[in-house]
Structure 1
Amino acid sequence: MKFTAYVENTYISTWQVIKAMPAAILTISILFAISDLFDVGLDMISASSTGKAYDPAKNFYRGANWVSLIANLYFGAFISIKVYRFILIGEERKSFMPEEAKILHRYVGLSWIYMIIAFVTAFCIALPALIMYGGNISVTQIGILALIGAFLIFYFYIRLALLFPAISLGSGIELKTAWRNSSENFWDFLAIFTVTLLPVTLVSIIVAMIIYQITSPLPEFTQMIVMILFKGIYCTLLSVILAACCSLLYRNYARGFKNLTPANGISKQEA
Structure 2
Amino acid sequence: MNVLLVLATILFLLMVLIGGKKGARSFFALLLNFGVLFFTILFMTDPNADPIILTMIGSTLISCITLFFINKINLKTKAAFLSTFITIVILILFIVIVADISMIQGFGKEEIEEISMFSMYLGVDFVKIGASMIIMSTIGAITDVAISVASPMREIFFHNPSISRKSLFRSGLTIGKDILGTNTNTLFFAFFGGYLGLFLWLKELSYSFGEIVNSKVFSVEVITILCAGIGIALIIPITSWITAYFLVRKREHNESI
What TM-score range do you get, normalising by the shorter chain? Answer: 0.3 to 0.5
Give TM-score scaled by structure 2 length.
Answer: 0.37
Higher share in helix: 2
> Structure with the greater relative contact order (CA < 8 A, sep ≥ 6): 1 or 2?
1
